[in-house]
Amino acid sequence: MKLLAIDTSTEACSAALSINGEISERYEIAPRKHAELILPMIDELLIDAGCTLAQMDAIAFGRGPGAFTGVRIGTGVVQGLAFSIDRPVVPVSSLAAMAYGAMETFKVDHVLAGIDARMGEVYWGAYQRSVDGGVKLLDDERVCKPDEAFIPESGNWIGVGTAWQAYGDELTARYDGLLDESHSEVFPGARDVAALGVIGFEVGDAVSADEAQPVYLRNNVAVKKKP
């Protein structure tokens, strides 16, 4: 199977190509440069692999949650590419991709994935490794105050994502007795979107290009705090 994946939902901008399970990636921490970088990244991957976009079986993307502008860029790019070659799209949670990457990097089975949502809140999800090699979400993904984040009943957990940098003390206290360590420098990456995208494609999670929609979690992204 050939699958292209992108993620622009956070400060990291990345694209990846999965060809029969072998994944190559372009990745850069580049806030506010996603629109400039993502298409050249895709072109480089295709050229290096000797493939064309039309040879892809599907395209996966990090659907959010994350930065509003970044999530919109990713959605728009993947819809345009998928329409141009008439291929399905596999939406992948950016939190799930981050959790999957952490499981692979740190060799763990339980991850508390959090992205700083600003305004005193976090985008949050608790994941465990699933039997199909992907990740399983416990409870729901949510946007919430750090002291309202879902608490699993048991297990040894690690925390990843920018939420742990912004609200590390509150989150560490909330998960006292469950948390082994945290890594605030972890971001979603297209490599992990690609891996979960292949799994999603195989189980029927692909949608048409016009059905590929962003997930913000926060209904009103423009809300401001009262002074």
Cβ–Cβ < 8 Å for 192, 173: no
- Structural tokens at position 175: 């998960």
Mean pLDDT calculated for residue range 206-215? 97
pLDDT the model gives residue 219: 67
- Structural tokens at position 213: 């929609």
Percent of the chain with pLDDT over 90: 95
DSSP-assigned letters across all residues of 80-142? HHHHHHT--EEEE-HHHHHHHHHHHHHT-SEEEEEEEEETTEEEEEEEEE-TTSSEEEEEEEE
Mean pLDDT calculated for residue range 156-172? 98
- 74-84 confidence digits (pLDDT tens): 999 999 999 99
- Report d(CA 107, CA 164) in Å as an integer: 19
pLDDT at 89 > cutoff 60: yes
* Tokens 């939420």, residue located: 163
- Report d(CA 141, CA 185) in Å as an integer: 20
- Structural tokens at position 165: 């940098």
Closest by Cα among 105, 99, 85, 94 to 3 = 85
- Report d(CA 79, CA 190) in Å as an integer: 16
pLDDT the model gives residue 124: 98
pLDDT at 126 > cutoff 80: yes
Which of helix, strand or coil describes residue 226? coil
pLDDT at 227 > cutoff 90: no
Q: Which residues pair with 129 in a beta bridge?
A: 135
Which of helix, strand or coil describes residue 162? coil
pLDDT the model gives residue 225: 39
- 4-40 confidence digits (pLDDT tens): 999 999 999 999 999 999 999 999 999 999 999 999 9
pLDDT at 128 > cutoff 60: yes
Percent of the chain with pLDDT over 70: 96
Question: What domains does the chain contain, in order, with CATH numbers?
Answer: 2-93+189-211 (3.30.420.40), 94-183 (3.30.420.40)
- Report d(CA 202, CA 184) in Å as an integer: 32
pLDDT the model gives residue 218: 82
- What is the phi/psi pair of residue 212, to 5°? -80, 105
Closest by Cα among 10, 42, 48, 11 to 26 = 42
